[in-house]
């Protein structure tokens, strides 16, 4: 990697902020300095990084001076509030919120899919939605071989997708359920322990929720396929972390299953996990705390000759958020090889 980088984490006390700290340490990221930023409510606390206690500072107009990268994961409102100050300070914001994802001037990047888009940034790079990232990492290698015409997706999304407070709510409600006590929703609108419900993001006029439309619109932008037909049903399930997705992919022509399996086995950021004799395929416990997206149960759709079915699981906090952001920084920080 090139010179050491000066990094600030905006939203350092949240679930993704904690994962960013873990990954910076695990990947031996070359840090010249690390600044932890959060709301005034969280300021004054300390987080530990490489055995050192680092203070959490309140975000302010001057907080981004002397910083190369701002890894933002504090929500769309916060990102919109501070984006101008970040850019004016000469830093680059890699934003994990939905604030800039569909802005035509802001690249929306999954490094395994469209790394070249990151190069055209003007101070802001958007990190896609978690379900979109996990899906695109898996389907894009197939799309390059035979273009995909249509995707039908069903997602099974863990509490981690709603942040640290939602994860704690699942713990609290699970304990209460087993003790015969009433469940008290605070973060989610309904009980999440031993229950599931359609994703609780706002419903749109077309009957789809916001989360489902994120998958549609973001996938088209990332894959450079504005006419990609995609429909999704997103569901909240009582898991702590890691999302799962069932995908039906219709291609322009039949796609041999063994060829698809070989492509995915060799794809970056993907691990093939299949044991047909034992009926053993990817599960959230296989990918929690892991970088790769696990895919399996790849099979021919018996109702459509040009379609394949597959199942994937990926860690939402990790690859679906923090890891993707750090990979973007690494992508732009590593000197690129000179080609003849």
The CATH number of whichever domain residue 104 belongs to comes to 3.40.50.720
Q: Specify the pLDDT at position 285.
A: 97
157 carries a ligand binding annotation: yes
Q: Assess whether 176 and 283 both reside in one domain.
A: yes
**Residue from 121, 143, 199, 243 carrying the catalytic annotation:** 243
327 carries a ligand binding annotation: no
Judge whether 146 lies within some domain.
yes
Judge whether 109 lies within some domain.
yes
Q: Assess whether 139 and 122 both reside in one domain.
A: no
Judge whether 340 lies within some domain.
no
Judge whether 191 lies within some domain.
yes
192: how many CB neighbours lie within 10 A of its CB? Answer: 27
| Helix, strand or coil, per DSSP, at residue 190 | coil
CB 153, CB 232: distance < 8 Å: yes
How far does CA 168 lie from the centroid of its chain?
20
Judge whether 29 lies within some domain.
yes
Q: Assess whether 92 and 167 both reside in one domain.
A: no
| Helix, strand or coil, per DSSP, at residue 94 | strand
Across the beta sheet with 124-126, the strand order is 46-49, 52-58, 31-38, 5-10, 69-72, 92-95, 124-126
Q: Assess whether 246 and 272 both reside in one domain.
A: yes
Q: Where are the alpha helices (DSSP H) in the chain?
A: 15-26, 76-88, 130-145, 164-178, 210-223, 257-266, 284-287, 323-333
Instruction: Kindly give the pairing relationship between strand 31-38 and strand 52-58.
Output: parallel
Q: Assess whether 289 and 146 both reside in one domain.
A: yes
Helices (H) and strands (E) in the chain, counts: 8, 14
Q: For residue 199, indicate whether it is catalytic.
A: no
Q: Assess whether 243 and 260 both reside in one domain.
A: yes
Q: Assess whether 289 and 254 both reside in one domain.
A: yes
Q: Specify the pLDDT at position 333.
A: 85
- Give how many domains the chain has, as a whole number: 2
Residue 282: give its domain's CATH number: 3.30.360.10
**Residue from 121, 130, 234, 313 carrying the catalytic annotation:** 130
User: 300 forms bridges with which residues in the sheet?
Assistant: 308
Judge whether 180 lies within some domain.
yes
Burial class for 287, CB neighbours closer than 10 Å (0-12, 13-18, 19+): buried
Q: Assess whether 169 and 278 both reside in one domain.
A: yes
- Work out whether the CA dihedral 202, 156, 9, 5 comes out positive or negative: negative
Q: Assess whether 155 and 111 both reside in one domain.
A: no
pTM higher than 0.85 = yes
Domain that holds residue 192: 132-316
Quote the CA–CA distance of 269 and 301 in Å, as a whole number: 25
16 carries a ligand binding annotation: yes
Judge whether 338 lies within some domain.
no
Quote the CA–CA distance of 92 and 105 in Å, as a whole number: 14
236 carries a ligand binding annotation: yes
41 carries a ligand binding annotation: yes
Judge whether 339 lies within some domain.
no
Q: Assess whether 10 and 113 both reside in one domain.
A: yes
131 carries a ligand binding annotation: no
Q: Specify the pLDDT at position 338.
A: 41
Closest by Cα among 290, 283, 289 to 313: 283
Q: Specify the pLDDT at position 339.
A: 41
Q: Assess whether 178 and 88 both reside in one domain.
A: no
Q: For residue 143, indicate whether it is catalytic.
A: no
Q: Assess whether 145 and 121 both reside in one domain.
A: no
pLDDT in tens, the chain (340 residues): 458 999 999 999 998 999 999 999 999 999 999 999 998 888 889 999 999 999 999 999 999 999 999 999 999 999 999 999 999 999 999 999 999 999 999 999 999 999 999 999 999 999 999 999 999 999 999 999 999 999 999 999 999 999 889 999 999 999 999 999 999 999 999 999 999 999 999 999 999 999 999 999 999 999 999 999 999 999 999 999 999 999 999 999 999 999 999 999 999 999 999 999 999 999 999 999 999 999 999 999 999 999 999 999 999 999 999 999 999 999 998 654 444 3
CA-to-CA separations, 58 to 8, 11, 17, 37, 40, in angstroms, rounded: 12, 10, 15, 6, 5
């Amino acid at each position: 990697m090139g010179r050491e980088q000066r990094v600030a984490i905006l939203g350092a006390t949240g679930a993704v902020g904690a994962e960013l700290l873990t990954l910076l340490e695990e990947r031996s990221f070359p840090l010249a300095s690390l600044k932890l930023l959060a709301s005034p409510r969280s300021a004054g606390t300390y987080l530990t990084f490489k055995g050192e206690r680092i203070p959490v500072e309140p975000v302010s107009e001057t907080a981004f001076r002397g910083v190369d990268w701002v890894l933002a994961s504090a929500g769309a409102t916060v990102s919109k509030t501070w984006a101008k100050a970040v850019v004016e300070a000469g830093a680059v914001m890699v934003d994990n919120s939905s604030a800039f994802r569909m802005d035509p001037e802001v690249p929306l990047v999954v490094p395994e899919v469209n790394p070249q888009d990151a190069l055209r940034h003007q101070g802001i790079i958007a990190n896609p939605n978690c379900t979109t990232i996990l899906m695109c990492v898996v389907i894009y290698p197939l799309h390059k071989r035979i273009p995909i015409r249509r995707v039908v997706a069903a997602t099974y999304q863990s509490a981690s997708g709603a942040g640290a407070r939602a994860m704690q709510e699942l713990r609290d409600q699970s304990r209460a359920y087993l003790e015969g006590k009433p469940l008290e929703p605070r973060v989610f609108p309904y009980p999440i322990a031993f229950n599931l419900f359609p994703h609780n993001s706002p419903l749109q006029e077309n009957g789809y929720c916001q989360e489902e439309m994120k998958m549609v619109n973001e996938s088209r932008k990332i894959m450079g396929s504005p006419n990609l037909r995609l429909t999704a049903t997103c569901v909240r399930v009582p898991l702590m972390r890691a999302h799962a997705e069932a995908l039906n992919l219709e291609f322009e022509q039949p796609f041999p299953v063994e060829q698809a399996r070989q492509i995915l086995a060799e794809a970056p950021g993907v691990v093939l996990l299949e044991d047909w004799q034992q009926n053993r395929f990817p599960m959230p416990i296989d990918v929690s705390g892991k970088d790769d997206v696990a895919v399996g149960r790849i099979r021919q759709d018996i109702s459509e000759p040009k379609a394949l079915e597959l199942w994937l699981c990926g860690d939402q906090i990790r690859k679906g958020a923090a890891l993707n952001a750090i990979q973007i920084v690494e992508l732009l920080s590593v000197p690129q090889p000179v080609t003849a």
